[in-house]
Amino acid sequence: MENKRKAKRSLDELNVIDDFLMNAAAADPMIGEAFCRTLLSVLLQRTFGRLHVVTQRVISAPDPKLRGIRMDVEILEVAEDNISEESEKPVIAVYDLEPNLRRKVHLPKHNRFYQAKIDARHLKCGEKDFRKIPRLYVITITDFDPFGQDYMQYTIQNRCKEIPELDYDDELQFLYFYTNGHKGGSSELQAMLKYIQRSIPENVTDTMTKKLHDYVEQIRLSPEVRQSYMTWEDKIYYERKDAKEELLIEQVCKKLKRGKEIAQIADELETEEAIISEICAVAAACAPEYDYESVLERWLEK
């Protein structure tokens, strides 16, 4: 059941909006903090001091039946005079930086879920003062327009419907950056978004994109990152391949239960008859129930 493998992009062809390159740059012990500071300073149009960066932060659910989250890049802004001992760092603000190329994700509810999980980590057991929860910025960067209004930036905050001017100070913002947007942002922001989407020398047009490009080039030249990318690509490929095989086996089992023949199954699933025949040969030992889990177990053992 081996299909022809698609040619993968080289590390040099990746862009900042791609998960791997974003994470590799942010996680680098030499440039990660500076990379994130440069990116945030343009996106949020302000200066930043010391930052603590964590990539691929996993926040598990309290129950195995419930879902946890994996944050691409978590950036903690900490007080300048309390950075010697990490355990004592007072967190001023949290920035969840998420490049997103998946169009089928419902981003508002996806980010609502992430926000709840992130906030829950920043209040200790027994703490009664909710003002100690740090400011939270959930930042999503996409190459498609999430709201269809052609804005570079959409800033979402909680408001009172009856009194719009009422200051509802929960210190929470959801920010969506659309890399091809034309409205609602500065020329500096537009240049940075263009570079994030297509990280090539031709898109280096000002001081900040030059700084970011220099960091990106350092990452692309790193032997460790290159090796990691090869391993990561292979892992993703085989995970996807296994998932496709498992789905196909499940579909075949359902059709065998309905008494369908190999040729008919192959035609309906648009799959080579030889592949379907191979699955059916393994599944025959589990007839007539054709239990998917049992068939899959035998398939993996063969």
Dist. CA 279–CA 283, nearest whole Å: 6
Q: Is the pTM here over 0.85, yes or no?
A: no
Tell me which residue has tokens 């967190």: 91
Q: If you average pLDDT over every residue of the chain, what do you get? A: 86
* Separation between Cα atoms, residue 149 and residue 153, nearest integer Å: 10
In the chain, domain spans: 11-221, 240-301
pLDDT > 70: percent of the chain:
90
Q: Which three-class secondary structure state does DSSP give residue 145?
A: coil
The residue-averaged pLDDT of 261-266 equals 90
| 23/104: higher pLDDT | 23
DSSP conformational letter for 18: S
Could you read off the pLDDT of 2-60 as tens digits, one per residue?
444 445 678 899 999 998 899 999 999 999 999 999 999 999 999 998 899 988 777 77
**Beta bridge partner(s), residue 176:** 140, 154
With H, G, I as helix, E, B as strand and everything else as coil, classify residue 33: helix
pLDDT in tens, 142-179: 999 999 999 999 999 999 999 999 999 999 999 999 99
Residue scoring higher pLDDT (237 or 48): 48
Q: Decide: 118 and 71 in contact? Cβ < 8 Å.
A: yes
Higher pLDDT, 242 or 184: 184
Query: Can you give the pLDDT at residue 297?
Result: 78
| Whole-number pLDDT of residue 2 | 46
Q: Report the percentage of the chain scoring pLDDT > 90.
A: 49
Confidence check: pLDDT of 85 > 70:
no
More confident of the two residues 89 and 32: 32
Task: Flag whether pLDDT at 70 surpasses 80.
Answer: no
| Per-residue confidence (pLDDT) for residue 86, from 0 to 100 | 47
Residue 302: pLDDT above 80? no
